[in-house]
Amino acid sequence: MAVYVDDAIWKWANKRWCHMLADDEAELHRFASRIGIHRSAYQGPPKTSAPHYDLTGFERDRAVRMGALAVDRAGILAVFRKVKVTGAKGTRRAVTAAAE
Protein backbone atom coordinates (compact mmCIF):
# COMPACT_ATOMS: atom_id res chain seq x y z
CA MET A 1 0.00 0.00 0.00
CA ALA A 2 1.13 3.50 -0.68
CA VAL A 3 0.37 7.13 0.11
CA TYR A 4 0.42 9.71 -2.69
CA VAL A 5 0.69 13.49 -2.91
CA ASP A 6 0.28 15.66 -5.97
CA ASP A 7 2.00 18.99 -6.64
CA ALA A 8 1.14 21.86 -4.31
CA ILE A 9 -0.22 24.16 -6.99
CA TRP A 10 -3.53 25.59 -5.89
CA LYS A 11 -3.65 28.68 -3.73
CA TRP A 12 -5.89 29.34 -0.77
CA ALA A 13 -5.34 31.46 2.36
CA ASN A 14 -1.94 32.62 1.10
CA LYS A 15 -0.62 29.05 0.91
CA ARG A 16 -0.15 26.46 -1.81
CA TRP A 17 -2.04 23.22 -1.31
CA CYS A 18 -2.10 19.66 -2.60
CA HIS A 19 -3.98 16.41 -2.02
CA MET A 20 -2.87 13.34 -0.11
CA LEU A 21 -4.56 10.04 -0.94
CA ALA A 22 -3.73 6.41 -0.22
CA ASP A 23 -4.61 2.97 -1.53
CA ASP A 24 -6.34 2.26 1.78
CA GLU A 25 -8.25 4.65 4.04
CA ALA A 26 -6.72 3.21 7.22
CA GLU A 27 -3.23 3.76 5.77
CA LEU A 28 -4.22 7.32 4.85
CA HIS A 29 -5.16 8.08 8.47
CA ARG A 30 -2.06 6.37 9.90
CA PHE A 31 0.22 8.32 7.58
CA ALA A 32 -1.53 11.62 8.31
CA SER A 33 -1.02 10.99 12.03
CA ARG A 34 2.66 10.17 11.47
CA ILE A 35 3.27 13.49 9.72
CA GLY A 36 1.33 15.46 12.33
CA ILE A 37 -1.94 16.08 10.47
CA HIS A 38 -4.94 16.00 12.80
CA ARG A 39 -7.85 13.72 11.93
CA SER A 40 -10.18 16.74 11.87
CA ALA A 41 -8.47 17.77 8.61
CA TYR A 42 -9.76 14.60 6.91
CA GLN A 43 -12.10 15.06 3.97
CA GLY A 44 -14.14 12.14 2.82
CA PRO A 45 -17.57 10.76 2.12
CA PRO A 46 -20.28 11.84 2.27
CA LYS A 47 -18.92 15.38 1.78
CA THR A 48 -16.37 14.41 -0.86
CA SER A 49 -16.22 11.44 -3.19
CA ALA A 50 -12.72 10.25 -2.24
CA PRO A 51 -11.02 10.00 1.15
CA HIS A 52 -8.18 12.51 1.29
CA TYR A 53 -6.39 15.24 3.18
CA ASP A 54 -5.48 18.65 1.80
CA LEU A 55 -1.88 19.52 2.67
CA THR A 56 0.08 22.73 2.51
CA GLY A 57 3.29 22.73 0.50
CA PHE A 58 5.24 22.47 3.76
CA GLU A 59 3.22 19.44 4.89
CA ARG A 60 3.62 17.91 1.43
CA ASP A 61 7.41 18.18 1.70
CA ARG A 62 7.30 16.44 5.09
CA ALA A 63 5.05 13.71 3.65
CA VAL A 64 7.47 13.05 0.79
CA ARG A 65 10.44 12.95 3.18
CA MET A 66 8.53 10.35 5.23
CA GLY A 67 7.72 8.11 2.27
CA ALA A 68 4.73 9.46 0.36
CA LEU A 69 5.02 9.11 -3.39
CA ALA A 70 5.02 12.37 -5.32
CA VAL A 71 2.80 12.00 -8.38
CA ASP A 72 1.68 14.30 -11.14
CA ARG A 73 -1.92 15.27 -11.87
CA ALA A 74 -2.54 12.12 -13.92
CA GLY A 75 -1.14 9.99 -11.10
CA ILE A 76 -3.31 11.53 -8.40
CA LEU A 77 -6.38 11.22 -10.64
CA ALA A 78 -5.65 7.51 -11.11
CA VAL A 79 -5.50 7.03 -7.34
CA PHE A 80 -8.67 9.12 -6.94
CA ARG A 81 -10.51 6.82 -9.35
CA LYS A 82 -9.37 3.75 -7.39
CA VAL A 83 -10.51 5.00 -4.00
CA LYS A 84 -13.59 6.94 -5.06
CA VAL A 85 -16.68 5.98 -3.11
CA THR A 86 -19.58 4.93 -5.31
CA GLY A 87 -23.26 4.53 -4.58
CA ALA A 88 -25.62 6.34 -2.27
CA LYS A 89 -24.58 4.33 0.79
CA GLY A 90 -20.87 5.00 0.33
CA THR A 91 -19.96 1.51 -0.84
CA ARG A 92 -16.26 1.55 -1.62
CA ARG A 93 -15.06 0.05 -4.85
CA ALA A 94 -12.31 -2.50 -4.46
CA VAL A 95 -8.88 -0.94 -4.83
CA THR A 96 -7.12 -3.98 -6.20
CA ALA A 97 -8.05 -6.51 -8.84
CA ALA A 98 -7.59 -9.28 -6.26
CA ALA A 99 -10.19 -7.71 -4.01
CA GLU A 100 -12.71 -7.44 -6.86
Query: Residue 63: CA atoms inside 13 Å, Cβ hemisphere, count?
Result: 32
Comparing CA positions, the residue from 1, 62, 7, 74 lying closest to residue 33 is 62
Question: What was the pLDDT predicted at 87?
Answer: 52
Global confidence as pTM: 0.79
Question: What was the pLDDT predicted at 15?
Answer: 82
pLDDT profile of the chain (100 residues), mean per 10: 88 87 95 95 88 94 96 92 67 36
